Amino acid sequence: KSAPSIPKENFSCLTRLDHNRACSQVAMRCGISANSVKNMIIWGNHSSTQYPDIHHCKVNVQGKDVTAFDAVKDDAWLKGEFISTVQRRGAAVIKARKLSSAMSAAKAICDHMRDIWTGTTEGEFISMGVYSTGNPYGVPEDLIYSFPVSIKDKAWKIVDGLAINDFSKAKMDATAAELVEERDTAVSFLGSTAVT
Ligand SMILES: *[C@@H]1O[C@H](CO)[C@@H](O)[C@H](O)[C@H]1NC(C)=O
Ligand SMILES: *[C@@H]1O[C@H](CO)[C@@H](O)[C@H](O)[C@H]1NC(C)=O
């Protein structure tokens, strides 16, 4: 809104660190490497309300793609501790290091930029915060919200048609509510500047 000459699609925000953390949590549980975990999704804000969603995740176990539920074989962990560990990882790193993450954040920035540059593999997607207007999941408009995206010819596209169950919907709504609040606060500042 403050930089109308720059196309909206030229802005993206980093949720790849959260995405990578979610992949590595699943990989560690399965005793495989994180690059064998694909199609993870981080929905929403880069904060503790983010929702790491494993419902569309594919895990390559001994050359075969299986769901995260089949690979991990612990639904209670996937629906509980897995989510809270990823949500709180940023705070946990700060507590342990007295500093925020450095190398893993740098790696995530490289992954984010590389995928914009080279595109994502056909049939695969990654997580990235992009503007929500016109999104197919009913997320409120005018937010920068993390979605599953595929990238081709340096242009991102929100992956459409993924089934969302009630469990996921509630968590997507909660993180959206946080961003709506933040958006409205920011816009109210813009308004008062215009008046004075
Ligand atoms: C927006 O992104 C496109 C594609 O990467 C680029 O060609 C264009 O220069 C960018 N526009 C601005 C104003 O930064
Ligand atoms: C959204 O996440 C950012 C980055 O962690 C944080 O600064 C911001 O406070 C969060 N929004 C709200 C409303 O909590």
Q: Classify 16 as helix, strand or coil.
A: helix
Say if CB 178 and CB 44 are below 8 A apart. yes
81-94 confidence digits (pLDDT tens): 999 999 999 999 99
Instruction: Provide the token pair at 143.
Output: 């937010």
146-175 confidence digits (pLDDT tens): 999 999 999 999 999 999 999 999 999 999
Say if CB 176 and CB 143 are below 8 A apart. yes
Catalytic residue among 46, 55, 56, 112: 46
Looking at the chain, the whole-number percentage of residues with pLDDT higher than 70 is: 97
112-129 confidence digits (pLDDT tens): 999 999 999 999 999 999
Q: Which ligand is nearest to the CA of 117?
A: 1
From the CA of 46, how far away is ligand 2's center (Å)?
7
- The string of DSSP letters for 35-95 reads GGEE--EEEB-SSTT-EEE-TT-EEEETTEEEEHHHHH--HHHHHTHHHHHHHHHHHHHHH
* Ligand 2 pocket check for 50: Cβ under 6 Å: no
Looking at the chain, the whole-number percentage of residues with pLDDT higher than 90 is: 92
Residue nearest to atom 10 of ligand 2 (CA): 47
- Does the active-site annotation cover 56? no
The reported pLDDT for the residue numbered 193 is 57
Gap between the Cα atoms of 121 and 36, Å rounded: 14
- For the four alpha carbons of 15, 103, 87 and 33, in that order, the dihedral sign comes to positive
From the CA of 91, how far away is ligand 1's center (Å)?
34
Q: Residue 196 — pLDDT band, cuts 50, 70, 90?
A: very low
| Residue ranges covered by each domain of the chain | 8-190
Gap between the Cα atoms of 130 and 116, Å rounded: 12
Judge: domain 8-190, CATH 3.40.50.300.
no
From the CA of 163, how far away is ligand 1's center (Å)?
32
pTM for this entry: 0.93
* Ligand 2 pocket check for 173: Cβ under 6 Å: no
- The best mutation among 178, 185, 187 to test binding of ligand 2, ranked by most ligand atoms within 8 Å of the C-beta, falls on 178
- For the four alpha carbons of 52, 54, 60 and 61, in that order, the dihedral sign comes to positive
* Ligand 2 pocket check for 16: Cβ under 6 Å: no
- DSSP secondary structure code for residue 141 in this structure: S
* Alpha-carbon distance values, 78 to 9, 41, 72, 87, 165 (Å): 33, 13, 8, 13, 15
